[in-house]
Chain A
Amino acid sequence: MTTATTGKRPLGAVGRVLARREARVALLFVLPAFLLFLAFRFGPSIAGVALSLFDYDITGEIAWRGLDHFQRLVADPLFWRAMGTTVVYTVFAVPISLVLSTVMALGVRRAFRGSRFFRSIFFLPVITSLVLAGSIFVWIFSANGPWSALMSPLGLGGSWLGSTVLVIPAIIVVGVWSRFGYGMMILIAAMQDVPRELEEAALMDGANAWQRFRSIILPHLRPTFFFLAVIETTAAFQVFDVIYVMTQGGPANASYSLVYLLYDQGFKYFDYGYAAAVGVALFAMTLVVALVQRLVIGKQR
């Protein structure tokens, strides 16, 4: 560490002046970023939690409410509906996306003719905004769209976005489409670190492709999987854009998510305190996932 070496240097009078000047300059360098950070991250984070205990009006009127908002939250069927949607979406979208990422990464991890082309195609949805691509998915999942045509042999034709049962699966499909390329790229990078000799040795010993994956590649990927699982879970908890453009939470609130509830309460009904309480609930869920991840990783070490 560079700070350690400079720290042990005995300072003369000149050195002290210089050090003080250096500290002043450094503070000046950090200050703009830090002030922005205080004003728009740190402050609002604290305020967001505090706000959930108040009623606030944009005119400036403020009233202490204690835990009223949370009591209301627990009794609000829409909150539980939104929680259910968010959890179901997360529980399905994240693992499906991870499995797909892994399969695709295995397919294109080594350079061969066309590997770069395939990687690029699979990565394209990652940089695509689902708000901008939303309208094509509305058509794809409509009653006379291609998805219905594809699914009608299974007896699942018709408009998926119009069905209270199938709307979540439809949103999961879109969510997975937009995310799997990200995990794929991360996993390709992680797979490069698997010692080739190990795989070769396993091959000589007659291990088949599945056995080689199971006992050589997979153990190497474990930390990457945890990283991806946390990133993807956090993102999935915040699902909003797709729903806003594809279903507006419908039909009959069947695709209403937590962030949608926060948005509606805050910016449609201007019930800021209640919306902040939803934000706190979301934060708590994220923290629980992070803690579980810490525990699981901690156990492995």
Chain B
Amino acid sequence: MTAATPTTTQALTTPDRGRRATGRGRSRSYRALEPTGLGVVLRWIWLSIAAILSFFPFYAMVVLSLKPGKVVELPGSLLPWNLSFDSYAQVLGGQNLLGWLGNTLVYSLVSVVAVLFLSALAGYAFAKKRFAGKEVMFWSFLAMVMVPFHVTLIPTFILMANLGGVDTYWGLILPTLANAQAVFLMRQFIEGLPDELFEAARIDGAGEFRIFLRIVLPLCKPILATLGIFVFLWHWNDFLWPLIIGKSNAMFTLTVGISSLQQQNVPLSTMLAGSVVALLPIFLAYLVAQRYVQEGVTGTGIKG
């Protein structure tokens, strides 16, 4: 994990790196590296084929979700006509989809706010303060990144069961707030901020927490956006932990709820309608903030 951090933080602190190679200032020889004529066409063709293959599951998902009750046959079923929204009515009316959506929103949003706040607070102290035990604490944080989540799964569940956290929101959310990676990223970022900014405020008599709120947090906006998107996506897509801790249908998240449909022998179109509804918010967010989402996922590490 540590091997990755130099490139990671570099990518995060210099967000415009990807743009450098584009635009003006192309030399003629640079152009020669680019395909011309037939090469351009060929590149378009193979990339288009790859894009169609890669996008096909999404297309099929949407079209088949709009063809309720029919026997699926190829290729007729994939043509985008004779559509009906019956499956959507079914999954929204007959299943607790909106409840699951609400749970997922609570799970994701509360976690994002809490993780960002706590990791910024800790990251600031690790980066700019001196205190006893700092090194030990920080390195124990870092070492834990190596331990797979699944090793901690059973003990965490037993702990939550003993605390009465099974099938509750706090039981779902609390264990996922321990995010060592977030603390590490925040520390890396804040370490790069100039000390003078904090010193000036301190001389003006501002309290430590006020300095954090008024100066540190605003300066951290870019990393907070990136990290926030990562944490949000990770929680939205999280499956195993919500599956284990959520026992009743009313506490299911979208992933757990949709997977429970499979065990109920729900028709394919209804299942797919549920999937489309569950994926839609993520895709809309991606459409609006593509670059941040890409950075949020690639800049912070593993997919959830």
Q: Which residues of A contact B303 (CB under 8 A)?
A: 126-127, 178-179, 182, 235
B215 within 8 A of A: no
Q: Closest CB of chain B to A187's CB: distance in Å?
A: 10
Interface size class of chain A, counting residues whose CB lies under 8 Å from the partner chain: 35 or more
CA distance A139 to B70 in the complex (A): 14
A145 to B17, CA, bound (A): 43
B interface residues, tally (CB under 8 Å): 107
A45 touches B131 (CB 8 A): no
B151 touches A48 (CB 8 A): yes
Out of A107, A135, A223, which one reaches B268, CB within 8 Å? Answer: A135
Q: In this assembly, does B81 line the interface, its C-beta being within 8 Å of a C-beta of chain A?
A: no
Measured CB to CB, the closest approach of chain A to B26, in angstroms, equals 10
Cβ A108 vs Cβ B18 within 8 A: no
State which residues 212-249 of A face B: CB under 8 Å. Answer: 223-224, 226-227, 230-231, 234-235, 237-238, 240-241, 244-245
- Chain A contacts with B in 185-228, Cβ cutoff 8 A: 185-186, 188-190, 192, 196, 199-200, 203-204, 223-224, 226-227
Give Cα distance in the complex from A283 to B153, angstroms.
12
> Is A32's CB under 8 angstroms from B130's CB?
no
Are B129 and A33 neighbours in the complex by a CB distance under 8 Å?
no
Q: Is the interface of B mostly helix, strand, loop or mixed?
A: helix
Contact A104 B178 (CB under 8 A): no
A286 adjacent to B55 (CB under 8 Å): no
Looking across the interface, which residue of chain A has its beta carbon closest to that of B186? Answer: A33
Give the residue of A23, A33, A189, A286 whose beta carbon is less than 8 angstroms from that of B119: A33
Instruction: Name A199's contact: one of B33, B130, B290 (CB within 8 Å).
Output: B33
A111 close to chain B: CB less than 8 A: yes
User: Shortest beta-carbon distance, A65 to chain B, in Å?
Assistant: 15
Among listed A73-81, A114-122, A163-171, interface-contacting one: A114-122
Assess whether B275 is in contact with A133, with CB atoms less than 8 Å apart: yes
Complexed CA–CA distance, A230 and B302 (Å):
11
Q: B170: CB under 8 A from chain A?
A: no
Interface residues in A238-295 (C-beta closer than 8 Å to B): 238, 240-241, 244-245, 259, 262-263, 266-267, 272, 275-276, 279-280, 282-283, 286-287, 290, 293
> Looking at the complex, which one of B3, B22, B72, B149 makes contact with A144 (CB distance below 8 Å)?
B72
> Which residues of chain A are within 8 angstroms of B279 by Cβ–Cβ distance?
128-129, 132-133
A-B contact count (CB 8 A): 312
CA distance A240 to B244 in the complex (A): 13
CA A125 to CA B18, docked complex, whole Å: 21
Give a binary string over A36-80; 1 marks a CB under 8 Å from any B CB, 0 the rest.
Answer: 110111111101110100001010000000000000000000000
Please state if A140 and B271 are interface contacts (CB–CB under 8 Å).
no
State the B residues within 8 Å of A (CB). Answer: 3-4, 7, 11, 17-18, 20-23, 27, 29-30, 32-34, 40, 43-44, 46-47, 50-51, 54-58, 60-61, 64, 72-74, 78, 118-119, 121-122, 124-132, 134, 137, 140-141, 144, 146-159, 161, 174-175, 177-178, 180, 183, 191, 195, 208-209, 212, 233, 236-237, 239-240, 244, 254-255, 258-259, 262, 268, 271-272, 275, 278-279, 282-283, 286, 290, 293-294, 297-298, 301-303
Could you show 27 A-B contacts with beta carbons less than 8 Å apart? Answer: A24-B131, A29-B124, A32-B122, A40-B177, A48-B155, A111-B21, A114-B44, A121-B55, A126-B297, A127-B286, A131-B258, A133-B275, A146-B56, A146-B60, A182-B303, A185-B298, A199-B33, A224-B7, A238-B148, A238-B150, A240-B239, A263-B244, A267-B157, A272-B154, A272-B158, A276-B151, A282-B148
Closest 6 pairs (CB-CB, A-B): A26-B129, A44-B152, A129-B237, A47-B155, A33-B122, A111-B22
